[in-house]
Amino acid sequence: MKKSIKETTDHNISFTRTAWRRFKTEKLAMTGLIGIIMLALLALLTPLLANNRPLLIISDHGVSMPFLRYIFAPDSTESFIEQVFNYSLLYLPLMAIICLAVRSRTGLRALLLGLTAALLLLPFLLTGYRLDKTNWRERVKLQNSRALFAPVPFGPYEQTAEPYLKPDGTHLLGTDQIGRDILSRMLYGTRVSLAVGLFATVLSLIIGTIIGMCAGYFRGRFDLISMRIVEVILCFPTFLLLLILMAIFKEAEFNQSILLVILVLGLTGWIGLCRLVRGETLKQRILPYIASCEATGLPVSKIMLFHLLPNITGPILISFTFGVAGAILAESSLSFLGFGVQAPTASWGELLRQAFANPFEYWHLTLWPGLALFFSVCAFNFTGEGLRKVFDPKA
């Protein structure tokens, strides 16, 4: 009896739990996952780690938190991406609290999560942009107030020292070509790299999955035409397209260069995934469960969404992790060439570009962004390799 209960319990273990157990046995994959989590935490906590505004001021007039305005209305040309990360920084802890407090009542939990998400949007929409050039460190000294600054008390656009200053006790990673703190710009550059890597890959994943599934499922003329379009796009140079769009949008005074890079990389990076999804769909298309679904009269949309897609999720997830690493490298390469994220926005590729004139003399502008790119790409590649071993039955 005990044996049968144990066998039944083992049989009911979900595929997700089994996959997680297999994934945990891969040391490199776990190392990569830890690296991704650390990158995400650094990107989310950047305003609390590097900020020239005090996190808290205690004076005779009361208590104030000057950095809060920056959270809701960042003084950055790429304000949209900054607001996305700042919104996530505030919402994720609230979401965790609600999920822990309301476990049993799913409907109430969903309602509270939706209301919290909507209410949290209000300060982001209502807080207006205001240029703040206050020297808060001098102001705190003059007022004899007590202030709590971030561990890196410098903003990414603040000129605080001599250009090309080597690492010292004040600027741990040195300064760039106009005297801005490199550590602060490295932290804010993490947001840029993750935003481009994740959003561009998600965009390409959506396009590639839809077109690949439709081509593999319907076959025939639709498959023939879509694959010819894929081959045409594959021959088009991405860098040239980005250069043309950058010139057009600059004339139109469009300052959100990160969104432009995401759009171009997403619209040109779905080709490989589309071919992969098409091949997996063709394999699944001839299996009996698809014929059974069609025989019962299920709509094609439900067959593709609820039956076909779950069976090809493994290759898509593997391709997604490798795609994020490729998008991060692509953004850094474009920024290094001057076609990507535009100054004064902090970017790892832009820091590497500053050292191009003399990489050995300005080694601190070469070393730190290079290491950040190396560890980021390794983290996603290690995770992708671990997923491949989990989902590949031959591994």
Which residues, including other chains, have CB under 8 Å from residue 51's CB and lie 6 or more apart? 67, 70, 149, 150, 152, 153, 155
- Tell me: do 218 and 108 sit in the same domain: no
Residues in the chain, how many?
Answer: 395
CA distance 391 to 383: 12
- Tell me: do 146 and 289 sit in the same domain: no
Domain containing 358: what range? 183-391
- Tell me: do 153 and 271 sit in the same domain: no
Q: What pLDDT tens digit does each residue of the chain (395 aa) get? A: 444 444 444 444 577 788 888 888 889 999 999 999 999 999 999 999 999 888 888 877 778 888 888 899 888 878 888 999 999 999 999 999 999 988 878 888 899 999 999 999 999 988 887 777 778 878 877 777 888 889 999 989 888 889 999 999 889 999 999 999 999 999 999 999 999 999 999 999 999 999 999 999 998 898 999 999 888 888 877 777 777 776 777 676 666 778 888 988 888 889 989 999 999 999 999 899 999 998 998 899 899 998 899 889 888 999 999 999 999 998 898 888 887 788 788 899 999 999 888 888 999 999 999 999 999 999 999 999 999 888 876 65
- Tell me: do 225 and 351 sit in the same domain: yes
Report if residue 143 sits inside a domain: yes
For residue 63, the cross-strand partners are: 58
Q: Which residue has the tokens 């996603």?
A: 380
Query: Residue 166 in 3-state DSSP?
Result: coil
- Tell me: do 135 and 204 sit in the same domain: no
Report if residue 8 sits inside a domain: no
Query: Residue 357 in 3-state DSSP?
Result: coil
- Tell me: do 62 and 204 sit in the same domain: no
- Tell me: do 261 and 215 sit in the same domain: yes
Residue 302 tokens, joined: 């439900």
- Tell me: do 100 and 188 sit in the same domain: no
Q: What is the CATH number of the domain that holds 367?
A: 1.10.3720.10
pLDDT given at position 63: 84
Look up the pTM and report it: 0.89
Amino acid at site 223: D
Report if residue 13 sits inside a domain: no
Which residues, including other chains, have CB under 8 Å from residue 70's CB and lie 6 or more apart? 47, 51, 53, 132
Task: Find the DSSP H helices in the chain.
Answer: 2-11, 15-24, 27-44, 46-49, 67-72, 79-101, 106-126, 136-143, 182-218, 220-234, 238-251, 257-268, 271-285, 288-295, 300-302, 309-311, 313-337, 348-354, 363-391
- Tell me: do 104 and 199 sit in the same domain: no
- Tell me: do 207 and 252 sit in the same domain: yes
Give me the sheet containing 56-59, strands edge to edge.
62-64, 56-59, 146-148
- Whether residue 67 contacts residue 47, with contact meaning beta carbons closer than 8 Å, is answered with yes
Report if residue 20 sits inside a domain: no
pLDDT given at position 147: 86
Report if residue 38 sits inside a domain: no
What is the number of structural domains in the chain? Answer: 2
Residue 110 tokens, joined: 């969903």
Which residues, including other chains, have CB under 8 Å from residue 78's CB and lie 6 or more apart? 192, 255, 256, 257, 258, 341, 345
CA distances from 93 to 90, 117, 271 (A): 6, 12, 37
- Tell me: do 255 and 201 sit in the same domain: yes
Report if residue 344 sits inside a domain: yes
pLDDT given at position 373: 95
- Tell me: do 82 and 196 sit in the same domain: no
Report if residue 280 sits inside a domain: yes
Q: Which residue has the tokens 């007022």?
A: 143
Report if residue 44 sits inside a domain: no
